[in-house]
Structure formats: structure tokens, C-alpha cells
Structure 1
């Protein structure tokens, strides 16, 4: 019997989305960036605007951007795979394993804004505290994190695109980043925020539509029908290790193993990804905590609903030999599972070619939104932490921007080459998903403590991640050989070796850093030393603004926000990661039909509320900017002065008042609208 499933769409559909649609979207983003420059004084020729979006992003757009960065193609693909493999517990642990990191990062975000108000990348903070050696080490670890994150995303995405269109996987790998590079070069982090809004809106619409379309398909009919399919599937092909072999229980040892692995790996991905730190720097101080907390809470609904519904539908339809199932008559192969194809197959089954188109657009949106954040993060690292730190310390802002653009292009090429190599040698979406924690976890604790704990020493910050990385890699290989007797692509990608390797990578530095710091103590770090980090600008006005610092009342506000974030993240961790899953696990509870119905209804409402939040809050917060840009675009408002073209004074400084795009917004009221020009001038005069 042939193992090949015919592609429901022609190759031209794949090229149309990746090339035509991608370039059209890029053109729209370039045009919007141009309008923002003309009518809202957002000049992306300035590094502050390019790298941190002016540090005045509101709650809605912050939440949407973080949500978009976390809604990888991996999330929508892998959550269905783990449900197919482990039952409903898989989708639960996928959501729980991604929620706790983002809510915890709310604490890190507000502490960073409190202590490092002028930072552009977390690596600048590392260098300011520990010096060159640590800076080089963490630059390497962070770039490694960006590489494995990007490769993990595009491997599954390209395989899915190839599955639904029949186009070459290699071609998809090369075409995916092109349009993103174009609008990222033009707009920097602000274009990423705007693209995140559009991408996430489209993605959530498709998630909700596809989930409801699956439940209403005649072969399934309803939530009750899905429950019956999953129950019958458990009788035919019980899940190994699950209580009663059921797909409808959280009493699943394999899912729990995945949950631990997934949670630790995602902590590393978030904390070692400079893009999350940049989003924190870009947020207004009143937006950072609610933005990250809301993003974590809202995110959970996507894998819980889509992964749960589609994953169980895939199990039920395949076990029932449904005529609409693409592989009717055979089980899914390991290759199909490892490439994340249950989502594509289920969409094709329940919605035909329309479902295939929806998946194609869904994957494109998920990949491009996350890729843009990765590109800005790596570009800023290349220019600020490599070029400006070691090659040309006196570089002008213009040259730093050029090097940022160069970094974006180099990373896109290098990451794509690496993804092609992984594809050729057989390393899949699931292989990289299980493996990545080993290399992203070693630095996650020490990099967090850089802004959270003043007693961490240089030796602790440098030695701990190195020992963790070596120990994690050694444990991974040793356990793979111990369990399976050989080392190859299959055995090194199994969950147990990757789990033990990730645990060692994460736990060893967690123990070693405080042990070294207490055994060989040094003077406590003075947080005021972070004021050595300066805004990157050729403008003397920004120097005046920089000297004003953060007022006492603003520090008090941020400390209160930090306390709120700490309590919220702890409560969510205990509720979502500990109490709910382990109480159901310990009770060996198999979902009854009413309980399962309530579960799906709650997740559906949760997803719809997420969609409404994303669609409406950012435009409401940014309504003044939207109206100003709209009036400008239709010729009803004049453009504001283009700061890049203001003539320089004889002393070499541009003559201009400090724009909101240069200085961070420090008002606890979290206004999106910048203060009036006259009020800014007054502040500068007073500071001077």
C-alpha cells in the first residue's frame, strides 16, 4: 500500500502564499511603517526606534506581540501530535508548559525596566555586570537559542506546506523568511509589533474556525461525537501507560514526561531569547506586567483547544477507518508524526481543500510572525553586542543601523542553511522539539539572576552554564545509548534521553550558581551600575532625557508591579502546572462525557475571548495614532517633521526636541499617546 498522501492543493498554491502573498504583506507593512514615520514621528533610521519601538508600547500590543512570538508553527503542529500520541493530556501539558514561562517573564520584564531602563538587549546587561568573557559566552548561548528556535519552527512548517501543496520542502525552507526579512529591515521592532497584530488575528480566526469545523463535521457531529470516537479508539489502540489506555485522562506518564521536558525547554527558549527581553524594553512600564500575564493566560487556549480537538479527531477518524481520513487503512508513520502532519490531515479530512488552504495560511502566519522577532533580536545583537562592542565602539547610529540590517540578512541565510542541513540528515520537528532544551536551558537561570539577584558572582554566571551544557549533552548521549544500545537519529530523538539531558542542563546551573556565589562570595552588585548602559543615538537631546533617569514614584510603581507579577505567576504555576494536572493524575480520572463537554466548551470560550482581546484592545489603545495616520494617508493632516532630515547645528548635534520615539515612556498611567511637544521641551529645559 502506498504511504504517500496526495497533496490536496497544487504546488502553485504554496508558491502563491510564500511568494505573492508574502511579498504583498511585506509591501503593506513597509507602507504602514512609512506612514508612521511621516505622521507619527516614528523614525526607524534611529536605533532606539528600530530595536525597542520607542519604549512606549501599550498593554494590548505588548500582549499580542508576546502571544504571537509564542504561537510558533510548532505550537499548532506539535500540540496535535502529542495529543495523537498521549491523548488529551498531551495538549494540556503543551499549553501548561508554555504558560508558566511567559507569566514568570512578567517579573523579569518589570525588574529589567526598573534596573536597566536604557538597555536594548539582555547581552548589554550581562556585559555591564560581568564583563567581556561572560558577554561573549552569553552572546554565543543566545544566538544558539535563536538558531535552534528558528530551525524547529521551519522544519515542521515546511513539511506541512509540502504536504498540502506538494511543493519542495527545501524550496519552502528558503522562501519562508524572504518576505519577513523585507519588512523587518524596513520597520524594525515596530513593524514586528504591527505584523504580530495582523498575523495573530488571522491565526486565531483560523484556529477557532478549524476547531469548530472539526466538531461539526458529519463524521464527528458534535463534542459528544468526538468523545465517542476517542473512547472507541482507546478500546482499539489503547495509549501505552495511560490509565485504562484512555485518550481522555491526564493520568499519563508519557504526557507527564513530555510536560516536564516541554516546560524546562520553553523556560530556556524564553529566557535565552533576546526578542522577549526586547519586547519588555519596548513596553511602557504600566504595560509590561499585564501584557505578559495576559499573553501567558490567553496562549493556553490555543494548544488546549486546537491541539485537543484536532488531535483527538485525528485519533478517532484514523482508528475508525473513516473514508474522509487521508491515510484510511493504515496508521500514521513515524515520519508523518515527526513532521507534525496530523493537523494538515485532519484539516483536509473535515474541510477538504478549504481546510488545506486554512492550514497553509495558518502555518505561514505562525512562522513569519515569530521569525520577525527573531530577526530583530539577532540583528540588534549583531550590531549592538558585536559590532558596537568590539569592532567600532565609536560607531555612529547610522552605521549601527546598517550593521543591524546586515545581521538580519546573515541570520536569515545562516539559519535557513542550518534548517536545510537538518532536513537533509533527517532531524525533524519533533526531534528538535525534544532536543532543544539541552542547549537552551544551561544559561536560563543565571541570565535571569543577572537582573534579579545582586549576589550572583562572575564565576557563578560563567562556570554554571558551561558545566550545565557539557553535563546535559553527556547525559543525553549516555542515556540514549543506555536505553536503546546505539546512537542514531532515532534513539537520540526519543523523549527519555532528551528529558534527562534537559533536566541536567537546567538543574545543574540552578544548584551551582548559588553554591559558587555563597562559597566564594564577592561584594553585592550595585544596581546603579546598569546606568552605564546608554541610549544609542547621535542626538544630544536623548542624552538630556537619559540623565533624567527614573523618578522615585516610578520606581515605587514598578516595585508594586513586580510584586503583583510575582504573585500572579506563582498562583498560575500552582493552579495550572501543579494542582489541576496532578490532582486529576492522582485520582486516575477518565473524563466523563459531561466533564469532557464542559472542558471543550470552556476552551472554546477561552479561545474566542483571546481572539476578541487581540482584535480590539490594540486598536482601542492606539486609536489616536491610527486616526492621525489615517488622516495623513488621505491627505487630511500634514506630516510631522522628519527627524532624520533635521539639519545639524554647528556643534554637530541635531536641533530638535526629544521625541517620544527616543526616550522611554515612564508615566505609570501607560499612555500610548506621546506627551505634547511643549511639555517635552519643558522637561528637557528643567533637566538641563
Structure 2
């Protein structure tokens, strides 16, 4: 399984076909969907619709979007890498951020980004600092997507890494430009369906029909035999079937700094290990897929990777577009910007973000930075300045994560501010009257904005109880998983 001569298994045309073909198909379908909504449902693509979908997205699309957005290329690739080397996963952040999203909806129903709350609460200095950090983080996440995709598509098809880095954002930019965040939600629903079909199919093949495994019992036997051949240093008894793994615990701490995580049992390759370069490039998944399912399995990996990269890339694109449009342009350059001006800036932001991340990804690919390096170092890169290898990475991430535990109460009690969080409801939606020729004067425009705000508050009162229930449920599940995984 560790013979690198088995790759590439496809001609580069297969890689171009998947990225260009599927990317173009999604771009065309989402653009046509946006046109149909405008033509037959009178949906005006103003700034509020483009960047918030007028807050009308229902639970089903939101749930699929959450799954799709968190199924990053790094999630797919490094989860198998750390499962191979140590054992680590990621589940708690989804529930944690669900709580944050619910509280944001409750306290600031008209906010476009969470950074608007920071500006309203702490003013320009705090807002600018956090906005810059957020922008850097989004760039690194997007770059990580492209670097991981470039490694795997290059390995499997021999496709040029530069082409991968620039072609992936192309389709995303097209349908984001025309359809905004609603097109992103619709696309992510399709991506989620495809990813689930492939994951479930792979699971049944491995545990039911594969000649290499074929059953859970056989998997247990293979893992026990592998531990006897090559015990895992730091694991209890050198076993693979254990939750007591020092390296797995350290990886968990790294992910806590970079985005939270929970550790699971280790599963190194059996019987022959991969090289360090292959591990760092997160290439365990395509090797495993080829061994278990042949070329069909490798195609499935490429399809999953395509879905993961494009869906997460579209989410990052919308996030950065909102940040640039509302938190930089509208906050400090043109506070009285019209809806059309905001749309124009958002389009520039989409194109600029795609070009910037592709260029950085190409540089990192040729500089030899792997997806594993980026995903483990991101907490330090964002929050500090430590040169990342394994243990310093743990220390740096833990310092970045735990410092606010001391600093936040300290700063709060030094200069207390009895802030009334109800003031967040003062945030207003954008005046998009320039998209509607029926609005003839400023007075009518103001009145319409006030009516929208009133309707939003009435709706929020109606769903207050379900929101509180959802928040408490998410908190309870997150705590249960955290405790059960670390006991």
C-alpha cells in the first residue's frame, strides 16, 4: 500500500475533467437557479439577499451547509492522517459554534457579520483588530483547502498543482458572484448529499464486502496483529485499540488551539508504513481507497475532495466578502453606501479573494509546505509567533487558547462596563431602496427599513423559545461528547 509507484493511476485529463467539468456544471446550475428565482419568484438580488439571503434560510439547508462547510479537504485528509499516525478527530466545534450562532440571532437579529457586534460593543480599535485576525484566518483556511487538493490531485492524476490552485476557486467565484450566499447554501446541499453517499458506500464496502477487511471482527484482528508487528509508541501497551494515546492527546490539544477537537484511537497503516513526506501531505486516504476499492475508490476520493473544497471555499468566500463589504467598506470608507455600491464591492471582494488564496496556495505548494503543517500550525500563526514543530505547536496553541481565560476576566474587572446587550438590536439592515424603482423618496425608504426591523423583532419573539431550546441542547451534547471522549 505504501508503494508510490501505484500513483498516478489516472491521466491528468481525469483531474481536469472533475475540476473544470463539475465546477462548470455547478456554476451553470446555480447561475440558472438564481435567474429562475429572479424571473419567476421576483427575488431581487440586492445586498441583503446577496450576503444574508434576507435571513430566510430554513433549518434543512442550514444543517446541510454546516456539514458541508466543516467537511474541509483538511478535515477529510488530516483526519485520516492523524488516525494513521496518532488518532484525532473534530466534532465539538460544530455544536459550539451552533450555540454562538443562536446567541447571535437572539441578540442581534439584523447583524450581517458577528464583527458588527464587536464594533457596536467595543468601537473601532477592537473591531479592526479582530477583523484583521478574522481575515487572516479565513485566508489560511482557504489556502489549506487548495494545498490539500493540489497534493491529492497531483498524486492521483499527475495534474499540475498550479492549475488545481487556480481552477478550484474559478467555479466558486462564478456562482457566488451571481447567486450570493443563497447559491452557496443550495450548492452545499448537493455537496452534502454526494459526500454522504460516498462515505456510506465506502463504509459498507470496508466492513461488509472487502476482501481485505470484510467485517468489524476482521478489522479488530488486523489492528491487534498490526500492534504486535509495530507497537505504537505512547499508546497504552503499544495497542492501536486504545483511547490512551499520548500523541493523540497532543494532537487534540493542537486542534483545541486551532479549532477544537476530540481524540480517538490510533490506526497506523498495516503492514508497511508510508513515508514521512506522504504522511505530511495527508495522502493516507487515496492510498487506503485504492487498496480497498481500487480505481473506483480513488475516483470517490477525488469526488469527495472536490465537494469538500468547493463547498468550504464558497463558505470562506462569502465570509470574507461580508467582512470586506460590511466591516471595512461600510464601516470606515462609505458608511452611507447604497445597496448597489455594496454589491459592487462584494463582487470585487469575491474575485480578489479567489485570486489571492490561489496565489498563496501555489507559493506554499512550491515551498514544500504540507496540508498537515498548515492545519497544525494555524493556531500559532493566527495567535502568536512560534516556529511550529510538534511539541512547540502544542505549547503555542495551548497558550493562545488559555490566555483569554486569565486576560478576559482581568481586563473586565479592571474597567467594568455594564453593557446592555439589548443594544445589539439597534443594528439596522441595509437600505436597498436603490434596487426597487417603486421606492421614490428617502422618507419611504426609511419607513420601509423601520418596518423590516419591526417585523424581524416580532419574528424573533416568536422563535425565542425554540432558539433557547436549541442552544441548551447543543451545549449539553457538546459537554457530553467532550467529557466522554476525554475520560
Tell me the TM-score normalised to structure 2 length.
Answer: 0.91
Of 516, 521, 525 in structure 1, the residue corresponding to residue 411 of structure 2 is 516
The answer to whether 1:498 aligns with 2:393 is yes
Residue 176 of structure 1 aligns to a residue in which SS? helix
User: What is the root-mean-square deviation of aligned Cα atoms in Å?
Assistant: 2.3
Shift of 1:425: 1.6
Deviation digits for residues 599-631 of structure 1 (CA, Å, limit 9, x no counterpart) = xxxxxxxxxxxxxxxxxxxxxxxxxxxxxxxxx
Give the Cα–Cα distance (whole angstroms) in 2 for the partners of residues 538 and 49 of structure 1. Answer: 10
Shift of 1:189: 0.5
Q: Contact 1:81/1:340 (CA < 8 Å) preserved in 2?
A: yes
Give the Cα–Cα distance (whole angstroms) in 2 for the partners of residues 262 and 342 of structure 1. Answer: 19
Look up the match of 1:19. Answer: 20
The answer to whether 1:30 aligns with 2:31 is yes
The answer to whether 1:582 aligns with 2:486 is yes
Shift of 1:240: 0.8
Unpaired runs of 5+ residues, structure 2, are 434-444
Look up the match of 1:236. Answer: 229
The answer to whether 1:85 aligns with 2:119 is no
Give the Cα–Cα distance (whole angstroms) in 1 for the partners of residues 480 and 327 of structure 2. Answer: 39
Q: Contact 1:264/1:502 (CA < 8 Å) preserved in 2?
A: yes
Give the Cα–Cα distance (whole angstroms) in 2 for the partners of residues 36 and 556 of structure 1. Answer: 28
The answer to whether 1:545 aligns with 2:487 is no
The answer to whether 1:165 aligns with 2:157 is yes
Look up the match of 1:530. Answer: 424
Give the Cα–Cα distance (whole angstroms) in 1 for the partners of residues 182 and 321 of structure 2. Answer: 14
Shift of 1:221: 2.4
Deviation digits for residues 58-107 of structure 1 (CA, Å, limit 9, x no counterpart) = 11111111111111111111111111112xxx1xx40xxx3222212232
Of 346, 363, 366 in structure 2, the residue corresponding to residue 404 of structure 1 is 346
Q: Contact 1:261/1:499 (CA < 8 Å) preserved in 2?
A: yes
Look up the match of 2:211. Answer: 218
Give the Cα–Cα distance (whole angstroms) in 2 for the partners of residues 392 and 554 of structure 1. Answer: 30
The answer to whether 1:337 aligns with 2:338 is no
Deviation digits for residues 464-494 of structure 1 (CA, Å, limit 9, x no counterpart) = xxxxx3xx42xx34xxxxxxxxxxxxxx232
Shift of 1:195: 0.3
Give the Cα–Cα distance (whole angstroms) in 2 for the partners of residues 64 and 148 of structure 1. Answer: 23
Q: Contact 2:205/2:214 (CA < 8 Å) preserved in 1?
A: no
Distance 1:101 1:531, change over 3 A: same
Q: Contact 2:227/2:240 (CA < 8 Å) preserved in 1?
A: yes
Q: Which moved more, 1:212-221 or 1:16-25?
A: 212-221
Look up the match of 2:442. Answer: none
Q: How does 1:368-447 map to 2 (within 5 A)?
A: 368-440=310-382
Residue 84 of structure 2 aligns to a residue in which SS? helix
Deviation digits for residues 620-678 of structure 1 (CA, Å, limit 9, x no counterpart) = xxxxxxxxxxxxxxxxxxxxxxxxxxxxxxxxxxxxxxxxxxxxxxxxxxxxxxxxxxx
Q: Contact 1:100/1:569 (CA < 8 Å) preserved in 2?
A: no
Give the Cα–Cα distance (whole angstroms) in 1 for the partners of residues 82 and 190 of structure 2. Answer: 28
Give the Cα–Cα distance (whole angstroms) in 2 for the partners of residues 106 and 36 of structure 1. Answer: 29
Look up the match of 1:645. Answer: none
Distance 1:125 1:220, change over 3 A: same
Structure of larger gyration radius: 1
